[in-house]
Amino acid sequence: MYQPTGSTLRGSVVAICGTAFVLVGYDQGLIGGVNTLPSFRAQFKQPDANLDGIIASIYDIGCVVGSIFAFLLADKLGCKRSIAYGSATVLFGTVLQTSASERIQLITSRVITGIGNGFTTCVVPVWQAETLKSDNRGALLIIQSASLAFGQPLNAWLALVCSSVKSSFSWRFPIAFQGVMSIMVLSGLPFVTESPRWLISKDRFVEATKVIARLRGHGASVFDPEVIADRDYMVRLVDQERAASNASWTELFAEGKKRNLSRLLLGIGPYLFNQWSGINTLAYFLPVSFEKNIGLSQSLSLIISGVLGTQFFLASIIPYFFIERVGRRKLLMLSSGGCSLCMATISIALAVNTKISRGVFVASAFLYFDIFSWGILPVSWMYAPEIMPLQARTRGVALAVALHWLSNFAVVYITPMAINSLGLKLYIIWAGTCASFVPIVYLFYPETAGRTLEEVDDIFASEKFGITKTRSPLLDKVPDLEVCKHCGHHIARSILSG
């Protein structure tokens, strides 16, 4: 079997993770793209706003359950098997969802699909964080968030194309398309490696050394000094983690020397910022928002949603070029402030309710998605894996993602009813929540850009809970070799030290 190495291998990891996140983004807008189609509404007996909310949001309950499974099982299974099981579950749920003819089958199958995606989204960020270089880890993780953004226009355009068909094909095919991405992920997994950090944590040193050599590339072998130094460096770090605390899940909620509880709370924050920014009030029901709020036709709403989604995807690529230099903190604060202004503008436009103000509503929605994609979107998925200690990383990210999906459920469930009952007040609420993120990030969130995962450990070892002093990215290039301050040996700071 072909075994890629070096940059090809790392690119393959990014591609598989990206495909998994395209699926997540696709699913977030899936029901919003098909639930206004006449054949869909006729098939499921004209669901009201409450049932619309249940059909859309029940997927997020499945994601919560999948995150809990990841919390309990991912450390035992490893990254590759966890992603494989999650993708296979999505594929099974897709088959049931595509063939649904009754409400109960549609709802149940969406839960199953959610379980698979919830499991996968817990593991993918950890896998990438543990295999990519520290000096471009954030930039490559941008591809992950851009992939999530790409799922939105993919769904919107596919729904638009299929909407011209009068039969159930108009909504069954967009639902079935989820399976294509699941198959792509499953097909790519045999060619890539397990996380070397996870292998070492399970005392599988020979396999870990082979993985390190493959990730280094350039013909590196298991006997190369740099490969051995990388492995020994990681072994020492794992041993230090084990010495600091036991490996039970309860350590996640204990502060201890590693400040696990503080890091857990800080890691959860950006996931909650993502949801309580109001993004899914627009993303899940974008065509519905255009129809209900400003009276656009169904076809025009789908077209504008497709254009907006495409711009969202293109805008989400832009941080690739500056996220390591600007840093997580600054982007998160600027993005939150900008999203707050956009939501405030949307509420004003709805209050004025003229032809011009309806255009302002659409323009503000476009700008909101752009600004969201430059900060809140990428940082929310990369920050927790970067700040959690190794022994608690998978469990910590799983818990954070579970709360992300639980918040997603709450927002998506109330949105159809809130649009009908609150109107412009809903967007005022989102403007306030976005504004509140700015001081929280400024005061409490340390900067991780340019730092290895071990250097992030040092931040929490030196700073106690409270106002952070680490506010700038580490811009200096990390040398290939440096002397370990503990043992005096030369340590390779390669792709695997962050």
Choose among 442, 55, 461, 8: nearest CA to 217: 8
428-442: average pLDDT: 96
β-bridge partners, 491: 482
pLDDT at 305 over 60: yes
Please tell me which residue, 256 or 339, carries the higher pLDDT value.
Answer: 339
CA–CA distances in Å: residue 344 to residues 350, 370, 446:
10, 16, 29
What is the predicted pLDDT for the residue at 493? 38
Say if residues 362 and 294 touch (Cβ distance below 8 Å).
yes
Query: How far is the C-alpha of 470 from the C-alpha of 467, rounded, in Å?
Result: 9
Choose among 59, 53, 35: nearest CA to 45: 35
Backbone CA torsion sign across 296, 302, 303, 305: positive
465-472: average pLDDT: 82
What is the predicted pLDDT for the residue at 369? 94
What is the predicted pLDDT for the residue at 2? 82
pLDDT at 464 over 80: no
30-56: average pLDDT: 85
pLDDT at 120 over 70: yes
**% of the chain with per-residue pLDDT over 90:** 38
Residue 133 — pLDDT band, cuts 50, 70, 90? low
pLDDT at 391 over 80: no
- The three-point CA angle 472-474-475 to 5° equals 110
Phi, then psi, of 107 in degrees rounded to 5:
-65, -45
Residue 389 — pLDDT band, cuts 50, 70, 90? confident
43-62: average pLDDT: 87
DSSP letter at 465 equals S
CA–CA distances in Å: residue 408 to residues 63, 273, 325:
9, 11, 31
Query: How far is the C-alpha of 159 from the C-alpha of 180, rounded, in Å?
Result: 16
Lowest-pLDDT range of 33-37, 38-42, 446-450: 33-37
Helix (H) or strand (E) holding 418: helix 390-421
Query: How far is the C-alpha of 410 from the C-alpha of 127, rounded, in Å?
Result: 28
CA atoms within 13 A on the CB side of 15: 15
Say if residues 347 and 425 touch (Cβ distance below 8 Å).
yes
Query: How far is the C-alpha of 488 from the C-alpha of 232, rounded, in Å?
Result: 13
Chain-centroid distance, C-alpha 367 = 21
Query: How far is the C-alpha of 69 from the C-alpha of 398, rounded, in Å?
Result: 8
List, in order, residues 6 or more apart from 113 with CB less than 8 Å away.
Answer: 27, 59, 62, 89, 90, 93, 94, 97, 178
Residue 37 — pLDDT band, cuts 50, 70, 90? confident
pTM attached to this predicted model: 0.76
Mean pLDDT taken over the chain:
85
Query: How far is the C-alpha of 323 from the C-alpha of 145, rounded, in Å?
Result: 12
pLDDT at 137 over 70: no
pLDDT at 478 over 60: no
What is the predicted pLDDT for the residue at 450? 82
Letter for the amino acid at 122? C
262-291: average pLDDT: 86
Lowest-pLDDT range of 87-91, 117-121, 403-407, 476-480: 476-480
Tell me the per-residue pLDDT of 335-377, one tens digit each, with 9 for 90 and over: 999 999 999 999 999 898 888 988 898 899 999 999 999 999 9
Residue 248 — pLDDT band, cuts 50, 70, 90? low
DSSP string, 87-144: HHHHHHHHHHHHT--SHHHHHHHHHHHHHHHHHHHHHHHHHHHTTS-TTTHHHHHHHH
- Token pair for residue 42? 């006729």
Say if residues 227 and 221 touch (Cβ distance below 8 Å).
yes
369-387: average pLDDT: 90
Please tell me which residue, 86 or 404, carries the higher pLDDT value.
Answer: 86
pLDDT at 139 over 80: no
Query: How far is the C-alpha of 64 from the C-alpha of 70, rounded, in Å?
Result: 10
Please tell me which residue, 255 or 62, carries the higher pLDDT value.
Answer: 62
Residue 481 — pLDDT band, cuts 50, 70, 90? very low
Altogether, the residues listed in the chain come to a count of 498
443-461: average pLDDT: 86
DSSP letter at 478 equals P
99-113: average pLDDT: 94
Please tell me which residue, 14 or 108, carries the higher pLDDT value.
Answer: 108
Lowest-pLDDT range of 139-148, 183-192, 224-233: 139-148
Query: How far is the C-alpha of 150 from the C-alpha of 309, rounded, in Å?
Result: 7
Query: How far is the C-alpha of 454 from the C-alpha of 210, rounded, in Å?
Result: 22
The 10 Å Cβ neighbour count of residue 483 is: 10
171-197: average pLDDT: 94
Residue 136 — pLDDT band, cuts 50, 70, 90? low
Determine the 3-state secondary structure of 446 from DSSP.
coil
Q: Which letter, b or e, does each residue of 296-320 get, where b requires 16 or more Cβ atoms within 10 Å of its Cβ? A: bebeebbbbbbebbbbbbebbeebb
206-216: average pLDDT: 91
pLDDT at 479 over 90: no
What is the predicted pLDDT for the residue at 43? 92
74-95: average pLDDT: 94
Residue 79 — pLDDT band, cuts 50, 70, 90? very high
The 10 Å Cβ neighbour count of residue 433 is: 18
Burial class (CB in 10 A: 0-12, 13-18, 19+), 190: exposed
